[in-house]
Amino acid sequence: MTSAEQHLPETLAAIDLGSNSFHMIVARLEDSGTLSIIDRLRMNVRLGAGLDEQGIIDQAAQERAFACLETFAQRIRDLPQAAVRIAGTNTLRVAKNAAAFVARAEEILQHPIEIIGGREEARLIYLGVAHGLAAGEGRRLVVDIGGGSTELIIGRGMQPLHRESMYTGCVSISRRFFNDGTVTARAMKAAEIEAQLVFFSQAANFNASHWDEAIGCSGTIKAIRNIVHDEGWCLDGISFKSLKRLRKALLDAGHVDRVKLAGLSDSRRPVLAGGLCVLHAVFKALKIEQMQVSEQSMREGLLYDLVGRITHHDVRDATVETAISKWRVDAPQARRVTDTVAELFDMAAPQWSLDSEQLRPLLRWAATLHEVGLQISHNNYHKHGAYILQNADLQGFSRQEQALLAALVLSHRSKFRSGEFKQLMKPFAKAGAQMCMLLRLAVLLHRGRTEQQLPGIGIEAGKKALSLTFPPGWLDEHSMTLADLIREVNYLHAAGYQLRFE
């Protein structure tokens, strides 16, 4: 057993902060690298139901969420940060007060929360579902209907091939068309048409001609599977015919409180009509006749992705390598800057009390991609690069991580934009500016784009200051680097930072 394997955490946990429910899963990491589930918790928080027309999560929904997280926190409080992943999805993607909510939630959980983009959510969903299925050669369509979004993924084996996240879900449709619980034929038809319009643009890419098997997962689809099975309408997954029977049962009842169906839980009742309309639209738009149902979903995907990071099979590494190729990054120059910034970080991090485990890889990836915007334009390429990193579909990266990468690339040259870092999530705000100082120096030291070895450089890091020590006479022999350092002193001074060198 290697030393890396000896230090693997024994227990891992993943939390999915969904728009309808919050889920936590706890697992034991076996020596073989497999996971054994030891605990599951689910609470119907209905966070998305508390999202008002101004995009604010109301106080009642927040209190339900925080009460749930207090319970979750008791289970993960003693776990190291590297053993826990917490992801927020659609409601936290769109809520205007998401930052304040996340700050309070992190205080409760004592672990960072990632807000993930829709396509990243889709990737994690597929990863979770694929690990629960037998190996097969065919293509699979995976559908996950959440509270505020629906993810569609086509994949083969463990590899997702096409991913989309559509802005419609069981909570949003239920609130819009069945808010008081009344179910009418007119409202049902309007809800189905609206959902079909959402999926219409993707129908050609995800219809039955592109896959061999359809698989559904997560709360809405599992709840409908339970109902149609217990009612005897479909004993193998979900058929389109069984959806029509469920639709008729809801219309006959006329109100969700009067629905009497085997397998229907009280927590699912308020969003059943909306969830059914979305699933009906998916079946119709993608020409699905039969859907199997997986017990695994995004939370399991979070766990498997976490295992990859722990065992140094981080999908983010592959994402960066793909970006290098796609954007024709000068790989030798990227390597030179990356190696130097890593050395500077290793010297400065203990003095600044930076979290090396979390921040060092992010700084290396930013250094590797700092010239990603050059393929668009040599003028202001740092701005183009920042836009790419902020908005591209970067598998494995959370939105906060992408925001950090973008801020680092934006400020790696010319004006030091300290305000960009103040807008980042709390763990990245102060550290991001410090990391950027190091990145700027690494880029500066390799301005010549040659393989010439740098000398040993000493570094002392203060609160908003850096002092560099070069070997005697080295700067006199490298006048261009000296001129760059003098200019850098002025750039940093204008932003309230201090650079000294000798």
> What is the pLDDT at residue 7?
67
The answer for residues whose C-beta is within 8 angstroms of residue 140's C-beta and 6 or more apart is 129, 130, 133, 154, 155, 156, 211, 212, 213, 214, 215
For 279-311, write each residue's pLDDT tens digit: 999 999 999 999 999 999 999 999 999 999 988
More confident residue, 34 or 345: 345
> What is the pLDDT at residue 6?
47
Buried b (16+ CB within 10 A) or exposed e, 209-237: eebeebbbbbbbbbbbbbbbbebebbeeb
Rounded to the nearest 5°, which phi and psi values hold at 223? Answer: -65, -45
Say if CB 413 and CB 442 are below 8 A apart: no
- How many C-beta neighbours within 10 Å does residue 92 have? 26
3-state helix, strand, coil in the chain (%, to 5): 55, 15, 30
Asked, colleague to colleague, whether 3-116+301-307 and 133-295 share their fold, the answer is yes
- How many C-beta neighbours within 10 Å does residue 135 have? 7
298-302, 311-315, 490-494, range with the lowest pLDDT: 311-315
> What is the pLDDT at residue 58?
96
- Which CATH topology does 133-295 take? Nucleotidyltransferase; domain 5 (3.30.420)
3-state secondary structure of 41: strand
Mean pLDDT of 6-25: 90
For 365-389, write each residue's pLDDT tens digit: 999 999 999 999 999 999 999 999 9
Sign of CA dihedral 105, 116, 124, 48: positive
For 130-180, write each residue's pLDDT tens digit: 998 866 679 999 999 999 999 999 999 999 999 999 999 999 999 999 999
Looking from the CA of 213 toward its CB, the CA atoms found within 13 Å total 19
- Determine the Cα–Cα distance for residues 35 and 250; give it in Å rounded to an integer: 40
For 3-116+301-307, CATH gives 3.30.420.40
pTM of the model: 0.90
Class of domain 314-501: mainly alpha
> What is the pLDDT at residue 31?
75
Mean pLDDT of 317-325: 95
At 271, list the tokens: 């969003």
For 346-357, write each residue's pLDDT tens digit: 999 999 999 999
Mean pLDDT of 392-411: 95
- Determine the Cα–Cα distance for residues 489 and 474; give it in Å rounded to an integer: 18
> What is the pLDDT at residue 452?
87
At 44, list the tokens: 């119907």
Listed by start position, the domains of the chain span 3-116+301-307, 133-295, 314-501
CA distances from 236 to 185, 233, 290, 487 (A): 28, 9, 9, 70
How high is the mean pLDDT of the chain? 94
